Structures are given as structure tokens and as C-alpha cells.
Amino acid sequence: MAHTRFAPDRGLTSRMVLTMFLLGLLYVVFVSVLITLGVRTILVLLIAGGTLLVQYFMSDRIALFAMHGREVTPEQAPELHGMIDRLSAMADMPKPRVAIADSDVPNAFATGRNQKKAVVCVTTGLLRRLERAELEGVLAHEMSHVAHRDVAVMTIASFLGIVAGLMTRVALYSGLGGRARDDRGGLPIGLIIMLVSALVYGVSFLLTRALSRYRELAADRAGALLTQRPSVLASALVKISGEMARIPTRDLREAEPFNAFFFVPALSGGTSLATLFATHPPLNRRLDQLARISAQLGQGV
């Protein structure tokens, strides 16, 4: 993590390192299995590697384009820029670019591979619904993602899922599904590839989702400690979560693919099984953590 005044989070750092190690190990095993099966992996790896590079170096542009966000100048959004100026000074970090997305879904996200390339984007729906202090709490949360560099780690972590998905498509459309491994009559190579790819994708999916949930808790904590006002962040969480119920389901479904970026998920399941696949921790867990921080600050801890 680059030096800032955001509270460091050793738990997040260790989880990012562990996730990257496990995904790398899984990737090596996956490629070894493909080579053993006689699959030519070079083209697939080149395509996946190219996709990773595009995602990594252009993640800010891709996210803004997908969310219909546009960068705004201090003249166009003076209050928003003023808050980010203040938070950047408090955190002792470079000011990220500022953007606004024309969407009634109340949300915000941060993206970019490092502090110099970072952008913080808020929706028009969020600007209409939050008080100034609440908005500042949300912005502090998003800027902590930049400081922790977890956005870049999540981008890299998605690489293995891309490879597994591509290999499944290769097996389906290249005719491998009908080929036997040898003349003795074994399972079709394509079926083996699809099973291995599905397993690899499933494991990588669960690892990245677990990291995604923890990084949201880490961002809540870091943002609350920077502003010293965990209660306003909790108020923003409650308000946004409640307002989501008033947004048309069609709009929420359109925003759902970007849940991993958002401050609050556009759609979330309520069952324990759904929590396992969620990009964010349950609302009550986030609120409980903020209540504990508020109590600690009140006691001077």
C-alpha cells in the first residue's frame, strides 16, 4: 500500500497476498492439466493475457464507459471537487479524477490501477439523496480503495476466471467435446476440459468474492477513521440501501454486473447461500463494525 493517512489494514493486505498466491497456484495446475491433455494453450493464454492487460491499464476508462460516467471539472461540480480536495489533503494522497454518472441508482465507485490513474465516480441519484457529510463519508470509503490498491488486485485476480471461461468455449466450439483421449475409449477431452474449467472458475470465483467482501469492510473502516465520523457513513449505508428498494428492478438489473465496484450492491440476496456469492458483506455486519468504531472513538481508543 502506498503511504497515505488512511489506516493500514494488515488483514486486507494478507488476504490480497493469499488470494493472489492461491489463484496463481490454481493457474499453474490448470495449465498443467491442459498441457497433459494435449491442448494448445498458447492462443488462449495470449487472448486472456491481452484481456488482462486491457483491463489493468484501461480499467478506469472501461468502468466509466460502462457506467456512462463523465469526468467533471471543478467549475462543473465545485462542491464535489471541494470534498475530494479536502479528503485528498486529509489522506495525504494525490487527488483522483472526479466523475459523475447519469443514473438514478444511488451509488459510487472508484477504479484505476494506482493513485495517479484513479477516478472516483458518483451517480446523480447519490448526489440527490445524501447530505454533504454522508456524501463525504462515501467518498472517503471509495478513496480508501485507491489507497489500498485493492481495485488493481481484483482486476488481476479476475484473470484466471477469464482463462477458464475461454477454455470452456474452446472445448464447446472446437469439436473437442467429441474427441476421446485415446483409442482405448476414455472420457472425451472436451468434457474433461469443461469439468476442469468449471472447477477452476468456481474456486477462483469464490476466492475473489471472499476478498471483495473483506475489502468493503476494510474501506468502511479506513474511511470512518479518516473522517472520524463513522455514524455518517452508517447513515449513508442505511439511506442508500433503503432507497434501492424504490429503484425500478430493470434499472437495478442493468447495474448489477458492476456490483463489485459499487459502494452498495444494486441487488443482493438475503439467504446465507447468497451471502457466500455476494460481492459485499451484509448490511448489518457493516453497521456493526461502524458502531464499534464509533464506540472506540468515543472512548478515545
Active site amino acids: 142
Helices (H) and strands (E) in the chain, counts: 12, 4
For residues 169 and 150, the answer to whether their CB atoms sit within 8 Å is: no
C-alpha–C-alpha distance, residues 170 and 167, integer Å: 5
User: Residue 289: how many CB atoms within 10 A of its CB?
Assistant: 18
**Parallel/antiparallel/unpaired status of strands 97-101 and 108-111:** unpaired
**Who's near 141: CB < 8 A, 6+ residues apart?**
108, 219, 220, 222, 223, 233, 263
Q: Report the C-alpha gap between 81 and 102 in whole angstroms.
A: 17
CB atoms within 10 A of CB 127: 15
Q: Classify residue 38 as left (phi > 0), alpha (psi -120 to 50) or beta.
A: left
Distances in Å between the Cα of 180 and the Cα atoms of 90, 164, 191, 260 are 63, 21, 9, 40
Judge residue 56's burial from the number of C-beta atoms within 10 Å of its C-beta, 0-12 exposed, 13-18 middle, 19 or more buried. Answer: middle
- The Cα 301–Cα 160 span in angstroms is 42
Asked if 96 contacts 112 with a C-beta cutoff of 8 angstroms, the reply is yes
